[in-house]
């Protein structure tokens, strides 16, 4: 058992980032971390969600997943974020959650904790890299320690070669993407353990 308490925090409209978060959580547990899998609150109007069958189905499938809170952020000593890109930046639901963390940030509760991020878009080059870099800018403001996967494992090249974090096209995850997520999560747990010791 490691000394890592990992909050895997995701937003997923249709299920891609939920699948990535699940994969990352499983790999972290296998690496010995204590893991909380958490979603951020949906901010789109209920009528909009209900008007799109796939969006509504995903919301119903994950109704029992707890919502992330500032208390979860304070509990954790490592974070793995996963959310889709929207017009080159992270989905507004994730930004809305981040915007609730001012008190935790001001209290120093987000500093000196390992963090990594993943994303997806409808197509390759749909804003994945700028989304991850934008999230990392926020994490730098927190004083968190960014643990990007870099080019440190062959799985990253097989999954598309994004050194900032695993990124996927929308839809079912390929075996290559799953392998990259699992590597990124294990790497995060490894460095989180070193930071926490």
Q: Which residues of the chain have pLDDT under 70?
A: 1
Task: Decide which of 1.10.287.130, 3.40.50.980, 3.40.50.360, 2.40.480.10 is the CATH code for 5-196.
Answer: 3.40.50.360
Residue 162: per-residue pLDDT: 86
Q: How far apart are CA 31 and CA 173, in angstroms?
A: 21
Look at residue 174 and give its three-state secondary structure.
Answer: coil
pLDDT at 122: 82
Q: Residues 73-100: pLDDT tens digits?
A: 999 999 999 999 999 999 999 999 999 9
Distance CA(35)–CA(45), nearest Å, equals: 30
Prediction pTM value: 0.96
What separation in angstroms does the CA of 73 have from each of 36, 44, 93, 107, 113?
10, 23, 17, 12, 10
């Amino acid at each position: 058992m490691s000394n890592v308490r990992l909050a895997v925090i995701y937003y997923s409209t249709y299920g891609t980032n939920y699948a990535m978060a699940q994969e990352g959580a499983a790999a972290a547990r296998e690496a010995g971390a204590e893991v909380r899998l958490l979603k951020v609150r949906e901010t789109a109007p209920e009528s909009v969600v209900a008007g799109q069958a796939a969006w509504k189905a995903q919301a119903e499938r994950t109704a029992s997943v707890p919502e992330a809170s500032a208390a979860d952020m304070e509990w954790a000593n490592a974070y793995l974020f996963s959310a889709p890109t929207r017009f080159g930046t992270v989905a507004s639901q994730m930004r809305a959650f981040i915007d609730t963390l001012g008190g935790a940030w001001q209290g120093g509760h987000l500093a000196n904790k390992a963090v990594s991020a993943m994303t997806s878009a409808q197509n390759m080059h749909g804003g994945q890299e700028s989304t991850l870099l934008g999230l990392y800018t926020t994490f730098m403001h927190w004083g968190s320690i960014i643990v990007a996967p870099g080019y440190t494992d062959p799985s990253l090249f097989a999954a598309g070669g994004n050194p900032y974090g695993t990124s996927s096209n929308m839809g079912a995850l390929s075996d290559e993407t799953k392998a990259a997520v699992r590597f990124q999560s294990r790497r995060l747990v490894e460095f989180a353990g070193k930071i926490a010791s």
